[in-house]
Amino acid sequence: MTATVAIIGRPNVGKSTLFNRLVGRRLAIVEATPGVTRDWKEGTGRLGDLEFRLLDTPGLEEAAPGTVEAAMRVQAERALAQADVALLVFDARAGITPLDRHFAAWLRECGVPVIVIANKCESRAGRDGALEGFALGLGDPVMMSAEHGVGLEGLSEALFEALGEGAGAALGEEVSFGREGEFAEEGEDAAEAAGPLRLAVVGRPNVGKSTLVNALIGSERMVTGPEPGITRDAVPVDWEWGGRAVRLVDTAGLRRRAHVTERLERLSVAETERAIRLAEVVVLVLDATVMAERQDLTIARSVVEEGRALVICANKWDLVDDPEASLRKLRDRLEGSLPQIKGVATVCLSALTGQNLGRLMTAVFKAYELWNRRVPTGALNRWLEELVAHHPPPAVSGRRLRLRYITQAKARPPTFILFASRPGLIPASYLRYLENGLREAFGLPGVPLRLIPRGGRNPYAKPA
Q: What spatial distance separates the first Cα and last Cα of the chain, rounded to whole Å?
A: 64
Can you give the pLDDT at residue 184?
Answer: 37
Can you give the pLDDT at residue 220?
Answer: 83
Q: Biggest alpha carbon distance in the chain?
A: 89
Distances (CA, A) of 167 to 1, 49, 143, 161: 9, 9, 22, 9
Q: Are residues 248 and 259 in contact, defined by beta-carbon separation less than 8 angstroms?
A: no
Q: Which range, of 10-19, 61-70, 211-220, 452-461, averages the lowest pLDDT?
A: 61-70
Q: Which range, of 8-22, 45-59, 216-230, 443-457, averages the lowest pLDDT?
A: 216-230
Structurally, at CATH architecture level, domain 199-371 sits in: 3-Layer(aba) Sandwich (3.40)
Give one DSSP letter per residue of 108-120, joined into a string. HHHT--EEEEEE-
What is the 8-class DSSP label of residue 145?
A: B
Same fold: 4-167 with 199-371: yes
Distances (CA, A) of 447 to 101, 135, 266, 293, 452: 55, 60, 29, 21, 16
Which contiguous run of DSSP H or E holds residue 438?
helix 428-442
> For the chain, which residues make up each domain, given as ranges?
4-167, 199-371, 377-454
Structurally, at CATH architecture level, domain 377-454 sits in: 2-Layer Sandwich (3.30)
Order of all β-strands in the sheet with 114-119 = 41-47, 50-56, 4-8, 85-91, 114-119, 142-143
Quickly name the fold that domain 4-167 has: Rossmann fold (3.40.50)
For the stretch 296-336, pLDDT in tens is: 999 999 999 999 999 999 999 999 999 999 999 898 888 88
Could you tell me which of 69, 137, 151 has the C-alpha nearest to residue 105? 137
Q: What share of the chain is helix, strand, coil (3-state, %, to 5)?
A: 40, 20, 40
Residue type (1 letter), 169: A
Q: What is the mean pLDDT of the chain?
A: 84
Q: Are residues 407 and 442 in contact, defined by beta-carbon separation less than 8 angstroms?
A: no
For the stretch 13-40, pLDDT in tens is: 888 899 999 998 877 766 666 556 667 7
Query: What is the percent of the chain where pLDDT is above 90?
Result: 45
Could you tell me which of 98, 160, 109, 163 has the C-alpha nearest to residue 138? 109
Note the helical H segments in 9-67.
15-23
Distances (CA, A) of 173 to 50, 282, 332, 412: 11, 43, 64, 43
Single pTM value for the model: 0.75
Could you tell me which of 288, 280, 293, 283 has the C-alpha nearest to residue 245? 280
Residue 74 has pLDDT above 60, yes or no: yes
Give one DSSP letter per residue of 319-385, joined into a string. G-S-HHHHHHHHHHHHHHH-GGGTT-EEEE-BTTTTBTHHHHHHHHHHHHHHHT----HHHHHHHHH
Q: Which range, of 15-29, 276-290, 410-424, averages the lowest pLDDT?
A: 15-29
Q: Which range, of 55-69, 122-136, 231-245, 313-327, averages the lowest pLDDT?
A: 55-69
For the stretch 124-168, pLDDT in tens is: 878 888 889 998 988 899 999 998 889 999 999 999 888 875 454
- Angle between the 294-305 and 323-337 helix axes, to the nearest 10 degrees? 50
* Gyration radius (Cα) of the chain, Å: 27
